[in-house]
Structure 1
Amino acid sequence: MPSFNQGRFLNQALTSIFEQDLPLEVFVVDGGSTDNSLEVISQWEHRLAGYRSHKDDGQAAAINEGISRGSAKYVCWLNSDDWFLPGALARMVKAAEAMPEASMVYGRCWNHHQNGGKRRPVWVEPFSERRLALRCIISQPATLIRRSAWDRVGGVDPSLQMTMDYDLWWRLYKRVGAPEFIEDFVAVNRVHEATKTSNNRRLHYKEAINLVRRHHGRVPLKWWLAQPYSVWWKSIIR
């Protein structure tokens, strides 16, 4: 779990992990928070496989660090403002065990809007390269990755700030095998004013377009048509 100054959400995220019906290795990789994060972490220290808190090289580097410290057969990361639904990890492990050729499995996810509490489904769908080139059809909190596949691709790319997950899905697909989709809702993605996606839409689109070009060979027209609305108009009406 990468985290930085998310103390107001951290307890819910950790609670959702430790309520799963599985033995787990959980590492909290904190970027030197100055809020109440360390107080929350200390309440869970007896359940954690480890934690640290100091300035680091960013979210992607923290994710790689945390996962490298474990040894479990399956890996994932949960951002500290998101949470798992009950039984989520057990359902994904069961699916992964039934599909040993899959590099990862993923399920459905809710977007929970912090202001107003509205909950809507994230756009998630069964995997195909054509659809992945049009949009990110996999929601990161709702994923479980085979460690052997993670090690083969070298984890997430620390040079990316906004799209390290989207890039990872492409590399897992190209180098290991296609992800497998399960219909279950397994996680909740919290939407709030401090998320990177809300505050840096221009960089998000720039990174996404570059990686689609790199992995798919061309950029579908949809990206150029959607960019004005997603980057400029959404920034105005937030």
Structure 2
Amino acid sequence: MAGLRLGLFHQYPPRTLSIATIGRPGDDHDLPQISLVTPSFNQASFVGMTLESVLSQNYPALQYILQDAVSTDGSQTILESYRGQGVDIIVEADKGQTNALNRGFARSCGEIMAYLNSDDMLLPGTLHLVGRYFRDNPSVEVIYGNRLVVDEQGREIGRWILPGHDEEVLRFVDYVPQETMFWRRSLWERAGAGFDEQFHFAMDWDLILRFMQVGAVFNHVPGLFGLFRVHGDQKSQKDFRERGAREMAKLRRAHAEGRMNMALRIMRHFTYLLKHKRADAALQVALKKNG
């Protein structure tokens, strides 16, 4: 489908970020505590930028945990420079990213939870927007936003503008940008209080599907929350062909099969993508107007 961006990473030549912040004034009284976990292993090239993207937001009720799996590439020197600056740095062996996430969240206590990989970043203003949203919308249990895609130098190369939440589409395709998703601890506990460690690639989609199973209330917030970095050593590229496709097929069989016939599924997906194109086009118009 012409103009489709969802699912694509290299969409246009590298350029300066079209949106540098989502900060906007608001009432910051009684913001909920946010527990954010970053699993990391041998990401010395990027982990400092990830930390800065979180700590520089100056969110008043942040618990930030970085779980490093005994990196050997110089990461630990970088991490040591951040001790005492608002991040709990844990260095210990683990059994992979999913296990590291569970270890990190076991140390957390915030009402709102999320994780950010050590090569991705948050846009300035994201945490305040998220905190206000959960405070002001007590019935909503999960929110997620849109993403900008950046290269190794932090230059924008794409964007994913979602059209809104569609539970049926998310049963057979995971379009939720992981770095933009936040959820309530009460939901986490209701859904099993942990990532399933049999998944090494699709653990976030599995968590979303388990949230849906227990009746979670989702909302897509139409703002750019996070920066997803594309680079050569990335797990999501290297592991996809070997393991990720199998994991996603397993989840699709468990949660999507039998819910609707193929024709209805294709039509539902087509409608979702058409709405995405419209939302993306509207953003482009707004960027040109404000530029």
TM superposition score normalised by structure 1? 0.86
More deviation in 190-199 or 214-223?
214-223
Once the two structures are superposed, what CA deviation does each residue of 1:71-101 show, in whole Å capped at 9, x if it has no partner?
A: 1111111101000000101111222223222
Query: Which residue does the alignment assign to 2:219?
Result: 180
Unmatched segments (≥5 aa) in structure 2? 1-37, 267-291
Q: After TM superposition, give the deviation of residue 59 of structure 1 in Å.
A: 0.6
- C-alpha change, 1:218 and 1:37, in structure 2 (3 Å) is farther
When you count helix as a share of all residues, which structure comes out higher?
A: 1
User: 1:213 and 2:249 equivalent?
Assistant: no
Once the two structures are superposed, what CA deviation does each residue of 1:146-172 show, in whole Å capped at 9, x if it has no partner?
A: 111112222211110100011111111
2:123 and 2:146 map into 1 onto residues whose CA distance is 11
User: 1:148 and 2:186 equivalent?
Assistant: yes
Query: Which residue does the alignment assign to 1:229?
Result: none
- C-alpha change, 1:125 and 1:171, in structure 2 (3 Å) is farther
Counterpart residue type for residue 16 of structure 1: S
Unmatched segments (≥5 aa) in structure 1? 224-238
2:207 and 2:150 map into 1 onto residues whose CA distance is 24
Q: After TM superposition, give the deviation of residue 187 of structure 1 in Å.
A: 0.5
Where do residues 1-238 of structure 1 align in structure 2 (5 Å cutoff)?
A: 1-22=38-59, 23-114=61-152, 117-122=155-160, 124-153=162-191, 154-202=193-241, 203-218=243-258
- C-alpha change, 1:118 and 1:218, in structure 2 (3 Å) is farther
Identity of aligned residues (%): 26
Q: Contact 2:144–2:219 at 8 Å: present in 1 too?
A: yes
3-state secondary structure, aligned to 2:222:
strand
Counterpart residue type for residue 217 of structure 1: E
More deviation in 15-24 or 46-55?
46-55
- C-alpha change, 1:152 and 1:116, in structure 2 (3 Å) is closer
1:178 and 1:127 map into 2 onto residues whose CA distance is 10
2:99 and 2:43 map into 1 onto residues whose CA distance is 18
Q: Contact 2:162–2:222 at 8 Å: present in 1 too?
A: no
2:66 and 2:175 map into 1 onto residues whose CA distance is 27
Query: Which residue does the alignment assign to 2:274?
Result: none
1:123 and 1:207 map into 2 onto residues whose CA distance is 25
Greater RCO (Cα-Cα under 8 Å, separation 6 or more): 2
Q: Which has the larger radius of gyration?
A: 2
Counterpart residue type for residue 194 of structure 1: D
Q: After TM superposition, give the deviation of residue 110 of structure 1 in Å.
A: 1.0
3-state secondary structure, aligned to 1:156:
coil
3-state secondary structure, aligned to 1:25:
strand
- C-alpha change, 1:116 and 1:32, in structure 2 (3 Å) is closer
Root-mean-square deviation (CA, aligned residues, Å) is 2.1
Q: After TM superposition, give the deviation of residue 115 of structure 1 in Å.
A: 7.1
3-state secondary structure, aligned to 2:78:
helix
- C-alpha change, 1:60 and 1:125, in structure 2 (3 Å) is farther
Q: After TM superposition, give the deviation of residue 49 of structure 1 in Å.
A: 4.7
Q: After TM superposition, give the deviation of residue 145 of structure 1 in Å.
A: 1.1
Counterpart residue type for residue 197 of structure 1: S
